[in-house]
Amino acid sequence: KVQFLGHVIDSRVIQVDPSKIESTKDWAYPKTPTEICQFLGLAGYYQRIVEGFSKIAKSMTKLTQKGIKFEWGEKEENAFQLIKQKLCSAPILALPEGSEDFMVYCDASHKGLGAVLMQREKVIGYASRQLKVHEKNYTTYDL
């Protein structure tokens, strides 16, 4: 096993280094947009391991936008706690083996995009992001 950039990697799998994620368990809820950015910066580094990260973080991300009044509510608290919980129990991802048998599963809505890269029924990684303002005008098919 090798510890590398916040991950523990062995010959077949990659997982979050528990010592790097330990601090999120006791992280107090953000009280300013800057504190949200700090938390999402750390959590976002591991978004490849957290399924649906962008969708979960959406309500928190909105509070970092200019002109938006900072009001921390139940929706944001639930998202914050869910991200912490998912980071602390992040799945173990498989490392790719060779260059065959890859499958990409993707989904789009009028709010965001999501994808899963798999090989032989093992998850290699997750990807997701929120749509930009102009992309919300596209049909789901065009996304």
Confidence label for 71 from pLDDT (cuts 50, 70 and 90): very high
**Percent of the chain having pLDDT more than 70?**
100
- The dihedral through the CA atoms of 55, 48, 128, 102 has a sign that is negative
| pLDDT 10s digits, 18-56 | 888 888 888 999 999 999 999 999 999 999 888 899 999
- For the chain, which residues make up each domain, given as ranges? 2-137
| pLDDT 10s digits, 124-139 | 999 999 999 899 999 8
- What backbone torsions phi and psi does residue 57 show, to the nearest 5 degrees? -80, -5
Q: Which CATH class is domain 2-137?
A: alpha beta
For residue 12, pLDDT over 90 is answered with no
Q: How far apart are CA 95 and CA 57, in angstroms?
A: 26
Q: Which residues of 79-92 are buried (b: 16+ CB within 10 A; e: fewer)?
A: bbeebbebbeebee
